[in-house]
Structure 1
């Protein structure tokens, strides 16, 4: 029996490694294909603009929604759009993809901001070559980026903080799961949230951990957090995959009555709200971010002057609104 289990485990491991390798190869092929497409597009006509959208994670639902919004706007405005990204969230891979995109010389690049000096240098290199870079989701305000289109992340953190203070069912001890310690949008959300919580004598942030933009990571960090401090009455997540993972981690820790708040409206988050496992979520509008980014680039191509940034509003999704498909402003 033990040999059989060992064989099954080995087969599962080999299949898993094979899948990861195949995804890496497909990603590399897609990048090379994109470079060729840009070259063909530039050779065919100077009238059609080619824009590259570099995601944080290729198949993350948030970024796929942004791609859909950008694609719809690009089709309407006669712009060609390329979409690439790491298989898993990987800052080093994002930098490599930005380097690749610049080498291919598209007409513009949409990319998530990243707190990295090398990233700023790449954005400057693109600007030197006449390639405008527009940041989305997270800003890179000290760089030479053209503009930022996305959520006002500090304001969204404040919005979540005010929502949490309205919850009278918690003991006020708060655990926090952030998606990444490197992402500027996560840092700003945490800053905004802290500023609101700090003003309340009845609430305290007792633990902060990173999920590494992973449902499994959020679940594990939540379980560990509750194992070390069983008196935490509320856990909030700042990235789209966190809330569902937090619920799973609470169950794994065999805890009850822990209040959960999250970000965005993935199907798992909507289901959790409908079941009462998640109290509410601050929802961004990635399709609007994608669409507005392309619209702004179209205006720029036509010689119009853009402002420094454009904020797409967020809204609150909670149980009553989720049940009827509505939202609370």
Structure 2
């Protein structure tokens, strides 16, 4: 008797489970349809402000965080965000995407600054057509952009210099990795760092290389840097993927005991700090950059005026900070 009941009970359980799955699937589809309908309504409604956010690199964690901050702020304010960017870092593609964005006639554009007179001309074209442009992450100070929202990059470079001097053993030769030679934010970070290091006796920056904001690029450049300058004691990376790449380059060069400093709060950077491979990282707040930029556009749409620069504070991530996070408030 039990042998007959057991298969029947199993069939009943499978049917119940299948019913629950179908209900869940239908509910998910309904929610998805509602969200889609809301987005379509916004797209068709001329009263809904349409903003284009152009990233430096589409799937870079930094820019995805900025997209998230912009999306959340836009949802609260009833705006619509279109997010786009090159698959890999490509300033020429960024310019083409900016040109396309202008042609589409949005209500506002968020874009990274690039040191290029043609880029200035594109921003001028946008503002001449009544499209406000806010630069994020890197500024375009000579352009007609409405405002800049991001890190005080000169100040961040100085902060990195002070961090290196504080933790070094009184002297040392330093290698520096920047993400791009064309990016205004990288040049400012480097300038701020130089101003601190050059004033410190016993310290010298002996090499500066560009990683193209690539972990592999940073690894290759760090390895080459160490082969050319075997007496380097510290390497600093000024873009988000540099620190992890520098660690790999140090390992490839067969070196130990080199202090590494990075930029931003990525999982790989945290892991390096936990394992003692990275001393510290200067952390930005891309999510807040995105949210603040949307907030400023909203103020502009309502006829309000504001300052041309909006600096988002940075913090230092090191082992002590990680321990505080674990301990909690």
Could you list the per-position Cα deviations for residues 93-124 of structure 1 after superposition, in whole angstroms to 9, with x for gaps in the alignment? 00000000000000000000010010000000
* Map 1:77-96 → 2, pairs under 5 A: 77-96=77-96
Whole-Å separation in 2 of the counterparts to 1:210 and 1:322: 29
| Gaps in structure 1 of 5+ consecutive residues | 1-37
For 2:128 and 2:149, how far apart are their aligned partners in 1? Answer: 22
Q: Does the Cα contact within 8 Å between 2:170 and 2:202 map onto a contact in 1? A: no
Q: Is the 8 A contact 1:147 1:309 kept in 2?
A: yes
Give, in whole Å, the separation in 2 of the partners of 1:200 and 1:172.
10
- SS state at 1:282 partner: strand
| Unaligned segments of structure 2, at least 5 residues | 1-38
CA distance in 2, matches of 1:153, 1:321: 22
Give me the whole-angstrom Cα distance separating, in 1, the residues matched to 2:98 and 2:40: 16
Kindly state the Cα deviation for residue 47 of structure 1 after the two structures are TM-superposed.
1.3
SS in 1 for 2:67: helix
**Contact map agreement 1:170 1:259 (CA 8 A) in 2:** no
Counterpart residue number, 1:100: 100
What is the CA distance between 1:325 and its match in structure 2?
A: 2.1
Shift of 1:167: 1.5
Does structure 1 retain, via aligned residues, the 8 Å contact 2:177–2:218? Answer: yes
Note if contact 2:149-2:289 (Cα within 8 Å) is conserved in structure 1.
Answer: yes
Deviation at 1:320, TM superposition (A): 1.4
Counterpart-to-counterpart distance in 2, 1:81 and 1:111: 13
CA distance in 2, matches of 1:205, 1:164: 12
Residue 189 of structure 1 is matched in structure 2 by 189
* C-alpha displacement of 1:40: 9.1
The residue aligned with 1:256 is: 256
Residue 216 of structure 1 is matched in structure 2 by: 216
5 Å-filtered alignment, 1:1-329, equals 44-169=44-169, 171-325=171-325
Q: How many residues align?
A: 289
8 Å CA contact 2:280, 2:318 repeated in 1: yes
Paired position in structure 1 for 2:9: none
Question: Per-residue deviation at 1:46?
Answer: 2.6
**Cα distance, 1:45 vs. partner?**
2.7
TM-score normalised over the length of structure 1 = 0.85
Measure, in 2, the Cα distance between the counterparts of 1:326 and 1:55. Answer: 32
C-alpha offsets along residues 23-78 of structure 1, whole Å, 9 cap, x if unaligned?
Answer: xxxxxxxxxxxxxxx99967x33311000000000000000000000000000111
* Alpha-carbon distance between aligned partners in 1 of 2:326 and 2:263, rounded to the nearest angstrom: 16
CA RMSD in angstroms, aligned pairs only: 1.7
Partner Cα distance (2:168, 2:160) in 1: 15
State TM-score, norm by structure 2.
Answer: 0.85
After superposition, the C-alpha distances for 1:250-281 in whole angstroms (9 at most, x for unaligned) are 00000010000010011000000011100000
